[in-house]
A = this chain, B = another copy of it.
């Protein structure tokens, strides 16, 4: 029996214990964006630190201005070294009443087709995915007493709230984080049984605006007709953000967006990602994006704009005839190619100001901003990883783009000079960021086995 086979067997034998550990971690409510969960974030970090220490990593919490970063190292002199990145923080859980069971009480349930799923906030994004890697390390160490290569884990607690303290930490800890390649487990497979390596990521600009009109809420009977309603102003701005063809209407928005090469588009068109297969499962049937683009382009290679939250006035039960003093919106842009986040933020702010009546004001609250990223197709690590995934899944892994943003990938390149391999085992129906988030038990089990193989492959 090879070392690899022994490590795989060890992982299989320890599956129940692995799940117990994952559940213990999932129970800790580590919502980074909400100050009420500050303690939960630290607890989640601390749990992971202790778990990694228990399998021989030199593990510690590194303080930041926000939530701490878990840094754990197990070097192997003479062997390659990888930097594994993930995050222990999770999304907020609202609307809470849409959860079938409480979000921080993990459970195994029967999913579509009777498959077993792990249901909890963070089960997929990203605690479940992080634990596939941790369990792979544990299996190697349990089976052989060692890892095939050197490993540093850097697990942050602010991914869901903008990773604002991570770039500073990378600068500061640059030398400690030295590695040959970075690994990230925060992405999806192409579909059940079909592994994928993500090679491009969309960037992100996230803006919040508050439009203010009157100096107080007004009675619409008394003032309606004469007083400016900031909700109308906001609606007009949002309505203007897209044109009839589904394009984003900010001037200069498409600067730096390259056309996808014809051969790549041709390959994509064979993947069968149509409205029925992509939108059907979420209850939709009509692609809402640019009318002249395939769905796979709309979600991977084209920039977009979405309102993520919008509110103002009376939100309670029943009728209240009020004209609100304020209107709020959270709006994000997904970027591709060479689009410049700063330029797009500027263009958006100008776009809003142009549409603002002279007696209203607007406040801009800037959140995340990151460029899109494209990884080189010809790296040796990519080829080794493809081989390892094919061995585990018996299917050729697909190299895809991701519609989401993982800003740290850009930071790894810029600050640490590292290319990143994005390998994840989540599925599109995992409901990440939504109620009843889940992770397939098979994603967890075969995810850990995949990393066991990838660690071996990278040692070659």
Question: Which A residues fall within an 8 A CB radius of B?
Answer: 33-35, 91-92, 94-95, 98, 160-162, 188, 202, 204, 206, 208, 213-229, 231-232, 234-242, 278-279, 282-290, 295, 298-299, 302, 304, 306-324, 327-328, 330, 332, 334, 357-359, 367-368, 402-405, 428, 431-436
Contacts and interface: CB of A to CB of B under 8 A. Distances in A.
A304 B238 contact: no
**By CB atoms of chain B within 10 A, which of A161, A206, A223, A285 has the most?**
A223
Given A220-B332, A225-B334, A239-B240, 7 more contacts: A33-B318, A92-B320, A222-B428, A226-B288, A232-B288, A234-B310, A286-B359
Contacts of A231: 238, 307, 309-310
Given A219-B432, A226-B295, A358-B285, A33 B319 contact: yes
Contact of A310 (B295, B310, B317, B368): B310
Contacts of A161: 318-319
A92 to B, nearest CB: 6
A225 B322 contact: no
A213 B279 CA distance: 11
A216 B304 contact: no
Contact of A404 (B35, B216, B222, B302): B222
A367 B299 contact: no
B435 A216 contact: yes
Contact of A33 (B34, B98, B317): B317
B403 A284 contact: no
B367 A226 contact: no
Contacts of A299: 222-226
Contacts of A322: 308-309, 433-434
A121 to B, nearest CB: 13
Kindly list the 4 A-B residue pairs having the minimum CB-CB distance in the complex, ordered from nearest: A221-B404, A215-B283, A235-B238, A239-B239
A239 B236 contact: yes
A135 to B, nearest CB: 25
Contacts of A216: 98, 282-283, 431, 434-436
Contacts of A314: 92, 94, 308-309, 330
Nearest to A300: B225
A324 B433 CA distance: 10
B34 A316 contact: yes
Contacts of A188: 222
A409 to B, nearest CB: 13
B288 A320 contact: no
A357 B283 CA distance: 13
A376 B405 CA distance: 66
Contacts of A279: 226-227, 359
28 contacts: A33-B316, A161-B319, A206-B321, A214-B284, A215-B282, A216-B283, A216-B434, A217-B435, A219-B434, A221-B334, A223-B299, A224-B306, A224-B332, A225-B288, A225-B302, A227-B284, A231-B309, A234-B235, A238-B239, A279-B359, A306-B321, A308-B323, A308-B324, A310-B311, A311-B311, A311-B315, A315-B328, A319-B368
Query: Which of the listed residues A160, A310, A317 has the most CB atoms from chain B within 10 Å of its own CB?
Result: A310
Nearest to A219: B433
Nearest to A360: B284
Contacts of A278: 226
A295 B328 CA distance: 27
A426 to B, nearest CB: 9
A258 to B, nearest CB: 17
Contacts of A320: 33, 91-92, 160, 308-309, 330, 433
B239 A235 contact: yes
Contact of A225 (B226, B239, B403): B403
Given A299-B224, A334-B224, A433-B219, A235 B285 contact: no
Contacts of A206: 319, 321
